[in-house]
Structures are given as structure tokens and as C-alpha cells.
Amino acid sequence: MNRWRDLYCGELRPNDVGRTATVAGWVARRRDHGGLIFIDLRDHTGIVQLVVNPERAPAAAEAAHAIRSEFVVRAVGEVVARAPEAVNSNIATGEVEIQVDQLELVARSEPLPFQLDDDNVEEPLRLRYRYLDLRRDRMQRNLRLSHTVVAAIRRSMEEQAFIDIWTPTMTLGTPEGARDFLVPVRLQPGTFFALAQSPQLFKQTFMIGGLDRYYQIATCWRDEDLRADRQFEFRQLDLELAFPRRDDVMDVLERVVVASFEAVGRTPPERPFPRLSYAEAMLRYGSDKPDTRFGLEIQDATEVTRGSEFGVFKSAERVRFLVAPKVFSRAELQRLEEFAKEWGAKGLAYLVVEESGEVRSPIAKFLSEDELAAFAAPPGSTILFAADTQAMVERVLGVLRSELGRQLGLIDEAQDDLLWVIDFPLFLRDEDTGQWTFVHHPFTSPLDGHEDLIESDPGGALSQHYDLIWNGWELGSGSIRVHRQEVQERVFRAMGMTDEEAHAKFGWFLEALQMGAPPHGGFALGIERFVALFAGEANIREIIAFPKTASGSDPLTGSPAPTTQERLSELGIRLANPEVEIGR
């Protein structure tokens, strides 16, 4: 390669015995055996053992005495076979070692704030010293996995004749369900750009402009509370194509997913992926991103309980239940009820079916034979009910199903289930304002034949919105878009937006829709979430090089930080809170 090394540490094998090798890397461990000094030298490919013998190389031995963990060194020596009793089967290079002739100390290291092989280091400390954390096997593996997946995505998109086009980061804010990050403009005081939450309108504009198969790995920004699967800034595979059917967009994504599985050496899911309507997903799983690796499906009992003597069932808008394959104790049932209440339930009715077939429950005496027959469950199980509004029943039983799947070990962790959820509502009622709001975004087209419902029955209108789900995680969303200006204006009006407001926010785009806009549709797949699932990581911070903490800060750089009064004045900004510290 060059004077620093001619091969990587992890590449040495028995067929290299007899050659002279030059390696370089970090000292993982140093062991002084009172004569011979053993050094485990590490780079991203693995570890090789160096043996420093003072009789063979006295200068190298003297240098080795000063070496400590995480020093950077370069070594030159002969590759030799280890004695049979010294072979280390735990590492790829364990059959060989290097008898060092030259040892060069390249860079020293101060004592470390934590040991790199310690798996119990608190996350804030890891992020404060991220440059050390990045040396660990976990981070090396995850970031290289991310590269492999993104490279596979790019190859697949180019094989499908998409072209990579960059779009601006600074733009006009659009309603996408999260707050914008604002950028003040020095040359135009009092005005602001928004950092793009997605390239949504730009990619639709490409379709109007005749660039009919677009993609990019886009960086997006959203000012929202952080959690395990959310960061301020993130990447997505962003794509759009002209003249598609919904199936065409899905086919593009399925090819991308299969290519990614193949690139990381995993068996790809069979195509086409299964499809589930939104209504069916909510009924059977209580979630629009269902984990279908286990059963425990929800069943509806609304009709059979309309005449029930149990008042909670009789008066509820919806009554649904699931059957858990376990006889729960009273203490376990109490814990499950508390869990359900945390999600808004008023209680959790149950029927326990003992191994003998006997039914145990305080509500059993109020239930008719027809009701008990409808709730029939095998011996050794527990029937859990939710009775409330439809939204509440779906929410409570959905999270309860997921929790029981984990608690009871019902989930096959080795299984990969990918599916599409389709036919989402076009609008949902906003709980705070009472107005109709979009489910996907306001540029999503109604399902064919549902355009007339935009005004007459917004809650009944379905959309051409589709989500891709992997093992209960939403990988991304897409839709066929509105491509006619009059339909787009009707959608805005249904959301309570006046024509004046619509033109103030989207006037340029509404104008573009009047200039021969073809039918078009697309998708956005979250890269970090996709890679995290491949890596088996529950938190996307583990596959991001420099993430923010849950509080939105960066312990490595100390950002965000106050700025100077001079810079604020230059931007025409005055802080409303005088207590905020200003940098000097």
C-alpha cells in the first residue's frame, strides 16, 4: 500500500508465513512476559499479535516498553506460524503472528476515559468521546453496514434508470407535521429560510419538469422531540417517478429492499410483499405498522355485545378482544390493567379460561351464552377486552398485543416480515383543533373515485398513501400525488385553509400544477431506521456517527451554544429572554 503498511491487521493468514509484513494500527493490549512483549495490534479489519523479542530486535523491545493502550504504532517483521498450543481460534489471524524487527511509535494516547472493551459505558460519556467510541467493534460494524446498505440502494436505483439530483436544503417552510428549523437571512433582515423537512415539492417539480425518475439520499431536518428512532437530522432515500401506478412505486422499493438484503448477506424477502389495508391492520393488530411475526390478532365483539347485560360493553362504541395463550394470575392481570391505563384505557376486562376449561372472571355472570360462545378460547388462555371509542380500543389493544408478544416470547426474532399497508384515510380529525388534517401530507391524492368525498365526507375519503413495514417498524411512506391544481386547492380547503393562505404558502407550486403536471408518485425510506434493523439496534443513535442526545445536544462539540450579541445584531435578532447567556 505505502510505507505505513502493506496489508491490514486482520488479513494475515497461514499462507503469509515467511513473508515480511508491515502493519499499522492501535494497540489494543500489551503484555510483558519478562522478556518477550506481546502486542495486539488493531485496525478496522481485526487484530494481529506482534511478538517483540529483545534478542531479535533490541531497539524494537526498548520502544515496546513505552507503549500503552491506544498508542498508534507501525511494525515490520516476519510472519510466522504460532505453536499449536498458542493458536487463538477466537480471531481470524489466530494461527499466525509477526516477529517484530522494527517498531515505530507513531502517536501517543492519554489515559482513556473508558476502556474500549467495556460494554457498560454510559451513552453521554460515549458521545463526549465519540472519536474513541468509533474505534469500538460495534460502531465500526454499524457504520460500515450503513455504507453497504446505501451503496446497494444507489446501485438498485441506477439499475432502475433513476437519476440522482440534488435539491436545496434552505427553502420555504411547508406543513409536514413537525416544526421547521429556521435560518435567518442577513441580507434580508426579518426573513427566514426553513431547513427542508423533505424535498417533497422539489421532487414533484422535477416531474413537472420532465425529469421523470428522480432519487437522492437526502438529508432532512425536523424540529421535534428526540427518541430512540428520531433525530433532528436524518437521511432518506427520496424518489419520485412520473406516470406510475401505485404498484410501480411499490415495485421500485421492493427491488431496493431485496438488493439491500442481498448486499448484507441476508436471505431477502419474497416479492411481492403482502398487502394489508389500513382498516384491516387497525382491526386485526391495532396498529398501522403491525408486527406480523406473531399471531395474537384482535377480534371484534361489538355486535354480539349490543344487548349485553354488562353495561361497559353495551354502551361502548367498540368492543374488541384478544386471546393470550396463558392463564394470568390476579397480580399479572393487575399489571396489565395498569399498562392499559397508561395508554388511556379506563380498565381491562378479562375472562380467564383455566386448564380445566372453567371460566374465571368477575364479569362472566353478566355475559350471555351467545357472548361466551363468541369469546370462546382454548383452555389455558386469557381473553382481554377493550371497550371504548374505536380510536381508544385500537390504541390500547395494539400496544397490549405488542407488549404480550414480547412478554410471552411469541415473536420469532429470526423472521423478517415486510408488508405494505395501503388505503389510508385521506384526512383525520385533529384532536386539538377539531379540523381535518392530512394523514400523510397535503399533496397525497385521493383513491380513485374518492375525490367527491373531499367536501361531502372527508372522514370517509381514502387516499393513495402506502407505508412499508418491517417487523413492526415503519420504514417509510409514499403516495400517488395530486397533479391537478383544482383538486389540490380542494384538499387545502378541506383542511380549513383559505385560498389566500394556500396561495401565500404554495402559490408557486399551485402555479406549476397548471403548467401540464403529469400523474406522479413517490416514496421516502428512512435510511437510519432501515440500517438499524439490519444491525439489530433498537436506537438509531448506534448507527449514526455523530448523533444528538435525547435533549438535542451534541456532547462532543458542545453544541448548541450561545452566539455573540454582534452576530445577533447583524441578523436583526433580539432575544426575548434576557436571561439567556450571550457568548463574548
- Per DSSP, the residues of 78-146 read EEEEPPGGG--TTSTTTTEEEEEEEEEEEE--PPPSS-TT-TT--HHHHHHTHHHHTTSHHHHHHHHHH
* Residue at grid coordinates 421535534: 224
* Distance, CA of 405 to CA of 238 (rounded, Å): 33
Top-confidence residue, 431 or 391: 391
Quick one: average pLDDT of 351-369?
Answer: 93
Give the residue-averaged pLDDT of 474-480.
Answer: 97
Most confident of 244-258, 443-457, 486-500: 244-258
pLDDT per residue over 104-151, tens digit each? 999 999 999 999 999 999 999 999 999 999 999 999 999 999 999 999
Amino acid at 444: T
pLDDT band per the 50, 70, 90 thresholds, residue 34: confident
Q: Between 370 and 23, whose confidence is greater?
A: 23
Rounded average pLDDT over 500-529: 95
What confidence tier does 584 reach under pLDDT thresholds 50, 70, 90?
A: very low
User: What domains can be seen in the chain, in order of their start residue?
Assistant: 9-107 (2.40.50.140), 140-274+419-424+463-483+518-543 (3.30.930.10), 294-411 (3.30.1360.30)
What the block records as the C-alpha cell of 111 is: 489515559
pLDDT at position 578 is 63
Query: 80 CB contacts (<8 Å, ≥6 apart)?
Result: 17, 96, 97, 98, 99
pLDDT at residue 174 tops 80: no
Rounded distance between C-alpha atoms, residue 308 and residue 19, angstroms: 85
Residue indicated by cell numbers 371497550: 387
Confidence class of residue 297 from pLDDT cuts 50, 70 and 90? very high
pLDDT the model gives residue 89: 94
Integer distance in angstroms from the first to the last C-alpha of the chain?
48
Residue 445 has pLDDT above 60, yes or no: yes
pLDDT (tens digit, 9 = 90+) per residue, 394-405?
A: 999 999 999 999
pLDDT tens sequence across 286-296: 999 999 999 99
pLDDT of residue 29: 95
Average of pLDDT values for 409-428? 95
How far apart CA 198 and CA 174 sit, in angstroms, is 9
Res 374 pLDDT > 70: yes
Is there a contact between 488 and 451 (Cβ–Cβ < 8 Å)? Answer: no
CA 97 to chain centre: 41
Alpha carbon distance 527, 96 (integer Å): 39
pLDDT of 177 above 80 = no
Does the pLDDT at position 429 exceed 90? no
Percent share of the chain, pLDDT over 70: 98
Tens of pLDDT, residues 255-267: 999 999 999 999 9
Report the largest interatomic distance among the alpha carbons of the chain, rounded to a whole angstrom: 95
Which pLDDT score, from 0 to 100, does residue 581 have?
59
Question: What is the 8-class DSSP label of residue 378?
Answer: -
Contact (Cβ atoms closer than 8 angstroms) between residue 493 and residue 186: no
Name the average pLDDT for the chain: 94
For 218-236, write each residue's pLDDT tens digit.
Answer: 999 999 888 888 899 999 9
